[in-house]
Amino acid sequence: MNKKGFIFDLDGVIVDTAKYHFLAWQRLAKGLDINFTEEENEQLKGVSRVRSLEKILAWGNKTISQELFDELMGKKNEEYLSFIAEMDTNEILPDVPRVLKFLKEMDQPISLGSASKNARTILERVNLKSSFNAIVDGNDVSKAKPDPEVFLIAAKEIDVKPEDCIVFEDSVAGVTAANTANMISIGIGSKDVLGHANYVFKDFTEISNDLIKSLIEN
C-alpha cells in the first residue's frame, strides 16, 4: 500500500470555529468603529492572530499603540476562548470522523497543520487529538500562511515528502501555502473563493472513501 501524508487544517476544516473567529473579530472591530464585510473576513481565514488584527486596522485606516495592539490581541483571544470552552464533539464538521477513520484503516499518516495557537485545546475539546500522528500549529512556526512552513513541518513530522502530501484547507492563504509547498491542495468550501486549489469540495460528505483511495494510489 502506498503511503501519502494527509494534512488537515483545523479551523473551518475539522471544526466550524471560523464562525467564532469571525464573531470575536467583528465585536472587537465594532469597538474600534471599524466594519468589515463577509468578503474581507475570507482574507482573515488561515491568517495568524497578529496579521488578522493588522489587516482589520488597515481596513479601518487606524493606527494604534503597541500597548493597545497587545491588549486587543488578548481581548480577542479571551472572547474566542469563551466560545471554545463550550465546544464538544457535535461541532466536528460532517464526515470528518469517517475520513479520519478510513485513513487510519488505510494506514496513512495524518498531520494537523494549523495557524492557531489554540489548536491543541480545540482538538482536546472535540476528542480528536489521538487521531493525529503529528500536530503542528501556530506555536511551532515563525512564518504564517500563506508561507508553506506549517505544512512543510507537518510533512516532515510524519516523514512524508511534500509532493506526496495532500492538504485539506478552507482558506485562501492556506491553499496558497499548500500549493507553494508543492502539495496537492483540496479546498473545503466554495469554488468561487478557493479556485486556486487542485480540487474543491463543499465539505467532506463530497469526499468518498473511493476518492481517498485514488488519492493514495496516484
Q: Which residue has the cell 465546544?
A: 87
150 binds ligand BG6 (CB under 6 A): no
Chain centre to alpha carbon of residue 165: 16
Task: Tell whether residue 52 is a contact of ligand BG6 (CB under 6 A).
Answer: yes
Cβ neighbours of residue 87 under 8 Å, at least 6 residues apart? 15, 17, 122, 125, 126
Give the number of other CB atoms < 10 A from CB of residue 8: 25
For ligand BG6, the closer CB: 121 or 182: 121
- When CB distances are held under 5 to 8 angstroms depending on the partner's kind, the choice from ligand BG6, Mg ion, none that residue 149 binds is none
- Catalytic residue positions? 9, 11
Interface residue with ligand BG6 among 108, 111, 116, 185 (CB under 6 A) is: 116
Three-state DSSP class for residue 111 = strand
8 A C-beta contact, residue 114 and residue 152: no
53 near ligand BG6, rule: CB under 6 A: no
> Any contact of residue 49 with ligand BG6 (CB under 6 A)?
yes
Interaction of residue 125 with ligand BG6, rule CB under 6 A: no
Pairwise CA distance, residues 47 & 51, whole Å: 6
Region at 171 (left for phi over 0; alpha for psi -120 to 50; beta for the rest) = beta
Query: Which residue is it, cell 500500500?
Result: 1
Helix (H, G, I), strand (E, B) or coil at 67: helix
100 touches which of Mg ion, ligand BG6, none (CB within 5 to 8 A by kind)? Answer: none
Q: Are 5 and 165 in contact (CB under 8 A)?
A: yes
Q: Which is nearer to ligand BG6, 133 or 171 (CB)?
A: 171
- Could you say which of ligand BG6, Mg ion, none residue 44 binds, taking C-beta under 5 to 8 angstroms by partner kind? ligand BG6
Q: Which of 8, 11, 92, 108 binds Mg ion (CB under 5 A)?
A: 11
Length of the chain: 218
CB of 216 to Mg ion, least distance (A): 23
Instruction: Decide: is 44 part of the binding site for ligand BG6 (CB under 6 A).
Output: yes
When asked if residue 133 is in the footprint of ligand BG6 (CB under 6 A), the reply is no
Report the interface residues with ligand BG6, using CB under 6 A.
10-11, 21, 44-49, 52, 77, 114-118, 138, 171
